[in-house]
Amino acid sequence: MDEPRTALEALGRRRLPVSAWPWRAALHLLTVAPLAAAAFAVLGVPWVVLAARLAGGGAGIGEAAVLMLVGIALIAVLGPLVSAPLARAARRGLRRVDHRRIDPRPRPPGPWLRTRYTDPGARLETAYACLIAFASPVLVLAVPLTVVLAGTFVASPVLVLAQRPGDLPVALAFGQVSTVGQTLPYVSAGLVLLAALPYLATLLAGVHGAAARALLTGAPDEDLRAELVEVSRSRTRLADAFEAERLRIERDLHDGAQQRLVGLTLKLGLARLDLPPGSPAAATVGEAHDQAKHLMAELRELIHGIRPQILTDLGLAAALGELADASPVPVTVDARLDGRLPGQVEHTAYFVAAEALTNVARHSGAASARVTARVRDGLLTVDVADDGRGGADPGLGTGLTGLADRVAVTGGRMLLSSPAGGPTVLRVELPCNENRSA
């Protein structure tokens, strides 16, 4: 079982009373006591005076209003200043009951005094100072009072036996006892309180730790959001790097290997013409010439697959039409696109459509297919539908999973409907509202 990271997590463990957590919690509460006393001395006194005056019935409306205004003014003026050192001390002590990463909230640039009154993080620190100022009796006194009460209850038989004849009964919290028999309920209650002490200390320290983490540190959801943003950015950078590398390979093949292969084919053709027809040398050169021509055709297809020239020159609608013409299954294309789209969006949509039509031809047994492309509200939607047997399942291979991953890189999503018996509809949604060209 994993070690608990916080005091609140430790509460659910059966070995809590014999673990180090109650001692950590007690030490944590002791260190919170001076912080609470300092916050109470600055921020809490007017409110306590007001409560006492109201409870005694001696405060009029005017006095109560004055005390309330003084209390609010102290919190508004002194709170942001007093809370700064309290927050630093509280963050250091928080490590006793919270083993997770603890980072202070980032401070905005500017003079310290001004930011203490304008920074939302400073206001949260002021809220923490008010919290410990008014919750200090519970945080600081609950455990010591429980210890004293439990000790008195357990020791009550000894206190009764120590009484001399004629002495008054022993006063306990809820009554008086004069015989050992009358102390038995108190002894039982004291033992229960002693057994509950580890849980009480851990609970109080855990509640304080949770409040301090929420008010004084970067919240976990903020950390997670920052990590997700960084993952998204790194994924985009990888996609851009992959696209740049693919373009480099296409350019090197087109300008280098293909041009040299064209030159080689021409030389073999000329050599074939210079050799006597029917000679062994002419046959060998002719075979090499034919192989070079086949190799050049395959290289042209490879370059076309890396980066279709029609997609670069004419855009997605024209490239989808070329895919339909090359498909062995009759394909109808309905692409109503207003202008060009961002390059990465066009490439992703094209290659997804190409892979989908390849799957239709290989696996679906379809008699026809249809490709539809629309842009609406900054979202490109491409549907590839066929009337085949259906039953496409991403779990049966990596092809559909790879398509989904490729779509996810652009921030889009892929949806698939392929019931047994068909039809199959593959939908791709790609955001294209940013950097769209006219």
Which DSSP string do the residues of 231-278 spell out, in sequence order?
Answer: HHHHHHHHHHHHHHHHHHHHHHIIIIIHHHHHHHHHHHHHHHHHSPTT
Place of tokens 């102390």: 183
> Which residue(s) pair with 375 in the sheet?
380
CA angle 378/379/383 to nearest 5° reads 155
- Helix (H) / strand (E) element for 336: namely strand 331-336
Q: What is the pLDDT of residue 191?
A: 92
Phi/psi for 237 (5° steps) reads -65, -40
Q: What is the pLDDT of residue 435?
A: 40
Q: Give whole-number Cα distances, 213 to 28, 100, 210, 219, in Å.
A: 14, 10, 5, 7
Q: Which residue has the higher pLDDT, 429 or 48?
A: 429
Mean pLDDT of 364-375: 88
Mean pLDDT of 11-30: 88
pLDDT in tens, 313-335: 788 888 888 888 888 889 888 88
- Determine how many CB atoms are found less than 10 A away from the CB of residue 164: 5
To 10 degrees, the CA torsion angle through 330, 335, 339, 345? -80
- Determine how many CB atoms are found less than 10 A away from the CB of residue 33: 15
Residue 96 has pLDDT above 80, yes or no: yes
Select from 226, 223, 214, 221 the least CA-distant residue to 94.
214
Q: What is the pLDDT of residue 232?
A: 58
Average pLDDT of every residue of the chain:
79
Residue 401 has pLDDT above 60, yes or no: yes
Candidate from 33-47, 75-89, 271-285, 417-431 with smallest mean pLDDT: 271-285
Cα distance between residue 228 and residue 263, in whole Å: 51
Are the beta carbons of 346 and 437 closer than 8 angstroms? no
Domain segments of the chain as ranges: 7-218, 229-306, 314-431
Q: What percent of the chain has pLDDT over 70?
A: 82
pLDDT in tens, 212-250: 888 888 655 555 555 555 655 666 666 666 666 666 666
- Helix (H) / strand (E) element for 430: namely strand 424-431
Q: Which residue has the higher pLDDT, 307 or 177?
A: 177
Place of tokens 């207003």: 338
Cα distance between residue 216 and residue 411, in whole Å: 34
Residue 436 has pLDDT above 50, yes or no: no
Indicate the SS3 state at residue 178: coil
Query: How many helices, marked H, and strands, marked E, lie in the chain?
Result: 16, 7
Mean pLDDT of 73-77: 81
Q: Give whole-number Cα distances, 325 to 97, 321, 329, 354, in Å.
A: 68, 6, 9, 12
Cα distance between residue 107 and residue 4, in whole Å: 31
Candidate from 243-247, 308-312, 427-431 with smallest mean pLDDT: 243-247
Q: What is the pLDDT of residue 314?
A: 81
Q: What is the pLDDT of residue 437?
A: 39
Would you call 302 exposed, middle or buried from its count of C-beta atoms within 10 A (0-12, 13-18, 19+)? middle
Q: What is the pLDDT of residue 416?
A: 86
Phi/psi for 381 (5° steps) reads -115, 125
- Determine how many CB atoms are found less than 10 A away from the CB of residue 176: 10
Residue 352 has pLDDT above 70, yes or no: yes
Q: What is the pLDDT of residue 241?
A: 60
Sheet strands side by side (includes 424-431): 331-336, 369-376, 379-386, 424-431, 413-417
Instruction: Give the predicted TM-score (pTM) of the model.
Output: 0.51
pLDDT band for 44, please (50, 70, 90 cuts): confident
Cα distance between residue 329 and residue 387, in whole Å: 11
Pairing of strands 369-376, 331-336: parallel
Residue 158 has pLDDT above 80, yes or no: yes
> Hey, what CATH topology would domain 314-431 get?
Heat Shock Protein 90 (3.30.565)
pLDDT in tens, 246-281: 666 666 666 666 677 777 777 777 777 777 877 787
Alpha helices in 256-361 (DSSP H): 258-274, 280-306, 309-314, 316-326, 343-359
pLDDT band for 172, please (50, 70, 90 cuts): confident
